């Protein structure tokens, strides 16, 4: 199976962190190049889309357990289901509504981090701020994060969200599968809150067995596909549905090979001399070339084209981030200056007695 340019761009940053070899300490580089083997006893969640009623109780529970800000639209308002909502720094999970065939039969799909077995985001993170844990959760350590946002580009599911509005201490935000709760022997908040058992928490292997049984017992209800069993090398979050996943807003073009598997091979055969983007492109392309034996001329054209796209993408992202940070900073400075001017303009008579000493009488 070949890879598309879109996949290439998405995965490029998975190796970009490792590709920055000359810029980071050896130990950090080693971490970046590590190939995740997956953990046999790891946990996961099975989302049975055929059981989901779109009640948003999982969203509410996620908001509570993660102490996130209250949403603009309260959780008991189901009007938002008609929107194509995306994840954000304040929203680790959303439920969206789809009508795959019959306009009278809506299907509800919960979206959050899929906790890939071999996460592209973690592979892209050269300081190991994102890590695959033995529990199955992919966690984030903000104290290590340098804000490079490679993880955002690397994730094929468009999951990590960045706190652009925070000028000083922005973080990458996403679902952690409620890792602290799992470590205490609890279920993830969303699973516990689901009134329809549309979410099941357990060992990933057992969830796959259970999912297969459901398909075998009810072939009229389910399509014969467990989403996440093999997508991108497998994910800890698994899905069952009665309709093709492409009709439910889920990507079906990802293939079964994990992003790090591509990039680790690439790094072994590419001289560590060129820039991050060029290195990864060349490396990934070398693998593709081996697989598809495409002509040299095509290769050069494709590398050039993809490199241009990558550079444009990175420039655009950096410039957006810079603008957002500058805007927030300017607004804060303006507010402070206006406040100071207003204070200075107050007639002395208006000043409360004792203010000179900073005290009230």
Q: How far is CA 44 from CA 137, 205, 237, 245, in A?
A: 8, 9, 5, 19
CA distance between the termini of the chain: 79
Q: How far is CA 67 from CA 70, 91, 183, 274, 352, in A?
A: 9, 11, 18, 44, 40
Q: 15, 17, 44, 54: which one contacts ligand SF4 (CB under 6 A)?
A: 54
Q: 3, 8, 12, 52: which one contacts ligand SF4 (CB under 6 A)?
A: 52
The minimum distance between CB 180 and ligand SF4, in angstroms, equals 9
Dihedral through CA 128, CA 134, CA 135, CA 140, nearest 10?
0
Positive or negative CA dihedral for 143, 144, 149, 153?
A: negative
Q: How many CA atoms lie within 13 A of 352 on its CB side?
A: 6
Which residue, 6 or 290, is less far from ligand SF4 as judged by CB? 6
Which residue, 20 or 194, is less far from ligand SF4 as judged by CB? 194
Q: In whole angstroms, what is the distance from residue 307 CA to residue 274 CA?
A: 12
Which residue, 177 or 266, is less far from ligand SF4 as judged by CB? 177
Contact 311, 276 (CB under 8 A): no
The answer to whether residue 189 forms part of the interface with ligand SF4 (CB under 6 A) is yes
The answer to whether residue 46 forms part of the interface with ligand SF4 (CB under 6 A) is no
The minimum distance between CB 246 and ligand SF4, in angstroms, equals 18
Binding to ligand SF4 by CB under 6 A, coded x per residue (else -) over 98-127, reads ----------x-x-xxxxx--xxx------
Q: 194, 207, 254, 270: which one contacts ligand SF4 (CB under 6 A)?
A: 194
Contact 263, 288 (CB under 8 A): no
- Return the residues of window 131-160 that contact ligand SF4 according to CB under 6 A: 138, 155, 157, 159-160
Which residue, 8 or 175, is less far from ligand SF4 as judged by CB? 175
Binding site for ligand SF4 (CB under 6 A): 52-58, 61-62, 65-66, 92-93, 95, 108, 110, 112-116, 119-121, 138, 155, 157, 159-160, 174-178, 188-190, 193-194, 196, 198-199
């Amino acid at each position: 199976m070949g890879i598309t340019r879109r996949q290439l761009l998405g995965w490029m940053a998975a190796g970009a962190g490792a590709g920055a070899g000359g810029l980071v300490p050896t130990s950090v580089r080693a971490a970046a190049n590590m190939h995740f083997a997956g953990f046999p006893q790891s946990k996961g969640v099975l989302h049975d889309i055929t059981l989901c009623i779109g009640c948003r109780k999982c969203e509410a529970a996620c908001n509570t357990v993660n102490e996130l800000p209250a949403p603009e639209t309260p959780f008991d308002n189901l009007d938002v289901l008609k929107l194509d909502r995306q994840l954000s720094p304040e929203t680790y999970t959303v439920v969206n509504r789809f009508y795959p065939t019959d306009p009278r039969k809506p299907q509800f799909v919960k979206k959050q981090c899929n906790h890939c077995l071999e996460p592209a985001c973690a592979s892209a993170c050269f300081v190991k701020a994102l890590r695959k844990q033995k529990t199955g959760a992919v966690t984030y350590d903000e104290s290590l994060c340098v804000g490079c946002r490679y993880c955002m580009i690397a994730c094929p599911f468009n999951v990590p969200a960045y706190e652009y509005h925070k000028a000083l201490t922005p973080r990458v935000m996403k679902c952690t599968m409620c890792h602290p709760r799992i470590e205490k022997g609890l279920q993830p908040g969303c699973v516990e809150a689901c009134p329809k058992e549309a979410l099941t928490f357990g060992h990933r292997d057992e969830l796959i067995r259970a999912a297969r049984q459901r398909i075998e017992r009810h072939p009229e209800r389910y399509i014969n596909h467990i989403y996440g069993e093999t997508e991108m090398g497998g994910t800890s979050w698994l899905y069952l549905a009665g309709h093709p996943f492409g009709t439910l807003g889920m990507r079906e073009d990802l293939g079964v090979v994990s992003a790090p598997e591509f990039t680790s091979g690439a790094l072994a055969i590419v001289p560590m001399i060129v820039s991050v983007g060029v290195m990864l492109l060349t490396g990934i392309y070398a693998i593709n070339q081996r697989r598809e034996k495409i002509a040299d001329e095509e290769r050069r054209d494709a590398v050039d084209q993809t490199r241009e796209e990558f550079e444009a993408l990175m420039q655009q992202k950096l410039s957006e981030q810079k603008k957002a940070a500058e805007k927030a900073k300017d607004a804060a400075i303006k507010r402070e200056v206006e406040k100071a001017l207003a204070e200075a303009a107050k007639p002395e008579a208006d000043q409360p007695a004792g203010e000179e000493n900073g005290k009230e009488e």
